[in-house]
A and B are shown apart, each in its own frame.
Chain A
Amino acid sequence: MKSLDDLKKIRDGAQKKVVMRGKHDGIRILVGMATCGISAGARPVMNLFVEKIAERDLNTVTVTPVGCIGECAIEPIVEILQGEERTTYCRVNEEVAERIFNEHIIGGKVVSDNVIGKFRL
């Protein structure tokens, strides 16, 4: 440790390790991961979100696996929660997930092709 800059470098790197344990006011990605969701392929979708978030260092975005909301026929289901706004996507494969990430989470624009409902809570 030769300078404050050295410490800062370690600190910036290390904060990525613990950022999840802070408060989150940002975007939450909920992935339907009940048995139906998993068998429809939700796991690789969830993993893709996790990797993309890490790649871009988006420390205000978290991914949470959640249960089934009942529409098993159109799984995998992904919900994006931003403040009071909730967007629900259906039939999300990896390709759609990538679009949701790029267009919605980064770009702020809903991917309307896969939305089943967009409403105020």
Chain B
Amino acid sequence: MIERSHVLICSGSMCISRGAKSLRDEFEEHLSRLGIRDEIKLVNTGCVGLCEQGPFVIVYPEGVFYATIKSKDIKTICEEHLYKGRIVEKLVFDEALTETKEVRAFDEIKFYAKQTRVAIRNCGLINPDDIEEYIAKDGYRGLGKALIEMKPIEVVQEMIDSGLRGRGGGGFSTGLKWRFAYNNESDQKYIICNADEGDPGAFMDRALLEGDPHSILEGMMIGGYAIGADKGYVYVRIEYPTAIEKLKIAIGQAKEYGLLGKNIFGTDFSFDIEIRLGAGAFVCGEETALIASIEGGRGMSRNKPPFPAAKGLWGKPTIINNVETLANIPAIIYEGASWFSRIGTERSKGTKVFSLGGNIKNAGLVEVPMGTTLREVIYEIGGGIPKNKALKAVQTGGPSGGAIPESNLDLPIEYETLIEAGSMMGSGGMVVIDEDNCMVDICRFYLEFTVEESCGKCTPCREGTKKMLEMLEIISSGEGTLEDLDKLRDLGNMVKNSSLCGLGQAAPNPVLSMLDNFRDEFEAHVVDKKCPGGVCKPLIHLEILDNCIGCTKCAINCPVDCISGSLKQLHSIDTSACIKCGICKNICPVDAIVSI
């Protein structure tokens, strides 16, 4: 039986956690009941990107994009759309409906139409468990071209010409890195895929590993051929079980098809890939700590040089590339360096994947050409901020980056411009901060993370970040002074300049950039003893305004019974008993409760 329709079910981790796991079973049940199971092909795909609106079901050939689907909706989709051919408009993603209620196809939705997808080209469109679907999308043709038509040094040169820079955060030229390893003679070399994605708020690599694992394997193989390695490792954290499972399936299938193993494409090139599991330490994303972890040691960084390209895994020349970097490589080799370098800007070529999160409507995975402005990403693709709140800042680079204020939103996204603005590209986390957030509190959150993740080998990072966190806690409790702000900056600069590895060197960045850009907010905490965002508990109190309608909702839900007032009368809060949990504020139907 030939299928007349394909139903794609997003099975990325985000959708799974929102209940996508049972959707396939529901489809099986209802399609069988209707007697049309044979006519429909069900495909579990990786992340389609618009995570905030998941789980998704996409129905082809029409390309209808159903969003926020629950198990009970499947019956309707089966009976109406698949059985009778009537699109279920009330389940279609709202931005896919035109003003006249016509249904737009999946790729015409604004969220997608504005993107350029190179690295995540196949995510959400193919079945990651089926190597043939990857091959159908020109998969492994880049590898074939490299092995048969190009010499290793030509592959290296092609990468240099493409202008691709490391997508893990550093932004070093991938081609030049490869050339170092190419030039280092050795009986054994290695390629490592760095899949130890650990920044809070970043999930690009997970989505790629889950949605298109073959693109990463192919990128590693091309890299192996270029530098003369016949062995590769994927270092992935055990916290990504779905990604690990997809990788295992992909490696197994690549072996079965003779794409991994001996004499690939009938050439002398042989390659093997193994998975190494990390325990989920942030520092293991740092190259030397990652190598130590693969070797079975404790995940701690060491001094560079020697760089891994000279002395890496087991003392052999080793190239470590990030997941997204690797996913770009097959496309660059197949389409050519000049194709790739036409995308992006003079200094930063190609595209960048961002995981958009925080106070934003369409949180999810987006890929845009370099040079796109932050404003375009946030307002045109991301759909802006919920409840029309004002944007305060955009945090990029996670715990290693900084916050870019509203006034800089028209900056084009490039490695350099973000650094000049006091932040960094990082691996691609992009957290939108609105007026209801407190910058001191956000600094505290990132510092808590780095204190926890510091490996403890060098003193500035181990002790310095801890002291910085303590100072932030004092400031947020209202006990700080103006002098503390200067001390905090001095200590931050010291940690930045004297730490051993990237973790410590970058850990003060959120604090330093926010002290620069949001000094007034820090001063409000230490001088006025106020938290403008209404977040730091010791500095706020909750108040009921006179637009209270006396619905009693707040009083009923208060966990410490500190709200009094009778029905249809203005209520009041006993601030001495209030624990500032904020439940009343969130539950008030007329926004009459404010934190001051």
Contact = CB atoms under 8 A, between A and B. Distances in A.
B135 A54 contact: no
A47 B39 contact: yes
A1 B60 contact: no
Nearest to B36: A43
Given A10-B135, A67-B84, A3 B257 contact: no
Nearest to A50: B4
A120 interface: no
A64 B85 contact: yes
A17 to B, nearest CB: 6
A65 B137 contact: no
A13 to B, nearest CB: 7
How many residues of B sit at the interface, in one of the four size bands? 35 or more
A118 interface: no
B84 A18 contact: no
B6 interface: yes
Contacts of B132: 10, 13-14, 17
A51 B39 CA distance: 10
B103 to A, nearest CB: 12
Contact-residue bracket for chain A = 20 to 34
A63 B263 CA distance: 43
B144 A50 contact: no
Interface in A1-25: 1-4, 7, 10-11, 13-15, 17-18, 20-21, 23-24
A114 to B, nearest CB: 20
A51 to B, nearest CB: 6
A31 B148 CA distance: 48
B2 interface: yes
A66 interface: yes
Contacts of A23: 107
B62 A64 contact: yes
Contacts of B141: 4, 7, 11
A88 B132 CA distance: 38
B83 interface: yes
Interface string B124-142: 0110001011011110110
B6 A1 contact: no
A96 interface: no
A8 to B, nearest CB: 9
A45 interface: no
B83 A17 contact: no
A24 B136 CA distance: 17
Contacts of A66: 84-86
Contacts of B83: 33, 65
Contacts of B259: 1
B445 interface: no
A117 to B, nearest CB: 20
A34 interface: yes
B140 A7 contact: yes
A90 interface: no
A66 B39 CA distance: 15
A80 interface: no
A67 B86 CA distance: 6
Contacts of B130: 17
Interface in B127-168: 130, 132-133, 135-138, 140-141, 144, 148
B54 to A, nearest CB: 19
Contacts of B135: 7, 10-11, 14
**Residue in B133, B135, B138 with the greatest tally of chain A CB atoms within 10 Å:** B135
B264 interface: yes
B61 A18 contact: no
Contacts of B84: 33-35, 65-67
Interface string B262-301: 0111100000000000000000000000000000000000
Given A2-B258, A2-B265, A33-B85, A46 B4 contact: yes
Contacts of A10: 132, 135, 257
Interface string B153-185: 000000000000000000000000000000000
Interface in A24-50: 24, 30-31, 33-35, 46-47, 50
A72 to B, nearest CB: 13
Interface in A55-112: 62-67
Contacts of A4: 141, 144, 148, 265
A24 B60 CA distance: 11
B497 to A, nearest CB: 51
B266 A2 contact: yes
Contacts of A1: 140, 257-259, 264-265
Nearest to A15: B136
Nearest to B149: A4
Nearest to B85: A65
Contacts of B144: 4, 7
A17 B265 contact: no
Interface in B109-136: 125-126, 130, 132-133, 135-136
A53 B1 CA distance: 12
A18 B60 CA distance: 10
Contacts of B39: 47, 50
B2 A50 contact: yes
B4 A18 contact: no
A52 B136 CA distance: 22
Contacts of A46: 4
A78 to B, nearest CB: 12
Contact of B136 (A17, A53, A63): A17
A35 B86 CA distance: 12
Contacts of B263: 2
A1 B107 CA distance: 34
A65 B126 CA distance: 24
A18 B136 contact: yes
Contacts of B126: 18
Given A7-B135, A64-B62, 17 more contacts: A2-B263, A2-B265, A4-B144, A4-B265, A7-B265, A10-B135, A11-B135, A18-B126, A18-B137, A20-B60, A21-B60, A30-B85, A35-B84, A46-B4, A54-B2, A64-B85, A67-B85
23 contacts: A1-B140, A2-B263, A11-B136, A11-B138, A13-B132, A14-B133, A14-B136, A17-B133, A18-B125, A18-B136, A21-B63, A31-B85, A35-B84, A47-B39, A50-B3, A51-B2, A62-B4, A62-B61, A63-B4, A64-B85, A66-B84, A66-B85, A66-B86
